[in-house]
Amino acid sequence: MRAFLLRLWRTSIIGNLVAGSMVILPFVLTVLIISWGINWIVSAFGPGTWFGEILTSGGEALIGPERDYVAFLIGAVLMLAILWLLGLAVRTQAQRTFAHVLDNMLAKVPLFRAIYRPVSQVVRVFAGSNADLSTLPVVMCRLGGDQGVDVPAFLASTRTYDVGGEPRRLVYLPTSPLPAWGGLVLVPDSAVVPVPNMDADALIKLYFSFGVLAPELIPPVPQKAPAIE
């Protein structure tokens, strides 16, 4: 059996199969990820869920009952249209005013405000509002000293914090493939290495790609000038 497998490998049959699989694998994985995302959205917001019932009710108000699926589709289209108009409005000059009014209104609800305010701040950071990630400097967080590791990160605040009488900087460490699922660490100044040639978009793409795009996104090591003899 072993000799047979070796013969197959030497004749490149298995090698060709593996090479062909590597070509089609990215396409298959992309389809699987998209399918998983669609199934998750349908199970969370589709017909039969509480959100789906709201959409169905909106559609039934236009076409009447007894056509649940069509009513759901009409309700979903109406919701998308409302979201598009809302997005168009908040991306104009009125964005700050709208967000400020909405925050102040919801902040008056006792139970709601405790959850809404931190959630809204995080969502608007990652959705590209005025306080978006592009305003955060990209740094390398050096963990373990000079012989340790460098983690691509965001400098979450320009302030210096006092921890046990020692100055610390607040750094946000993203994770792959979702940079939003990271963590905050307080590190010494010596652990924060600026990366002026790398912006926030590049850092997010780096984590989304599992580092595959690193050669394109991380600034290259500067070449030393040749010695003059």
Could you say which of 102, 127, 152 is where a domain stops?
127
Q: Which tokens go with 156?
A: 């979450």
Supply 16's token pair: 């060709």
- Contacting residues for 106 by C-beta, under 8 A, at least 6 apart: 112, 113, 116
45 vs 166, more confident: 166
- For residue 75, the tally of other CB atoms under 10 A from its CB is 23
Per-residue confidence (pLDDT) for residue 153, from 0 to 100 = 92
* Same domain (yes/no): 104, 153: no
Mean pLDDT of the chain: 75
Cβ–Cβ contacts within 10 Å for residue 172, how many? 19
Judgement on whether residues 114 and 181 belong to the same structural domain of the protein: no
80: its two tokens: 């998308």
Q: Before 220, cis peptide (omega within 30)? A: no
Domain count, the chain: 2
pLDDT of residue 131: 45
182 within domain boundaries: yes
57 in a domain, yes or no? Answer: yes
pTM: 0.46
- Asked if pLDDT for residue 114 goes beyond 70, the answer is no
Task: Please check whether residue 27 lies inside any domain of the structure.
Answer: no
Question: For residue 225, what is the DSSP state?
Answer: P
Tell me the β-bridge partners of 163.
166
| Residue 174, pLDDT above cutoff 60 | yes
Number of CB atoms found within 10 A of residue 87's CB: 10
Residues in Cβ contact with 8 at an 8 Å cutoff, skipping those fewer than 6 apart: 14
Over the stretch 5-34, which tens digit does the pLDDT of each residue have?
556 555 566 666 666 666 677 777 788 888
- In total, the chain counts a number of residues equal to 229
pLDDT in tens, 41-61: 778 777 777 777 777 777 766
Is there a single domain that holds both residue 72 and residue 115? yes
pLDDT in tens, 132-162: 556 788 999 998 877 889 999 999 888 899 9
| Residues 111 and 62 grouped into a single domain | yes
**End of a domain among 127, 142, 174?**
127
Same-domain pairing of 75 and 140 = no
Is 169 in contact with 190 (CB distance < 8 Å)? no
With respect to residue 85, please indicate whether it lies within any of the assigned structural domains.
Answer: yes
Can you tell me the distance from the alpha carbon of 196 to that of 35, in angstroms, rounded to the nearest whole number? 39
Q: Which structural domain range is residue 67 located in?
A: 50-127
Residue 107 forms part of a structural domain: yes
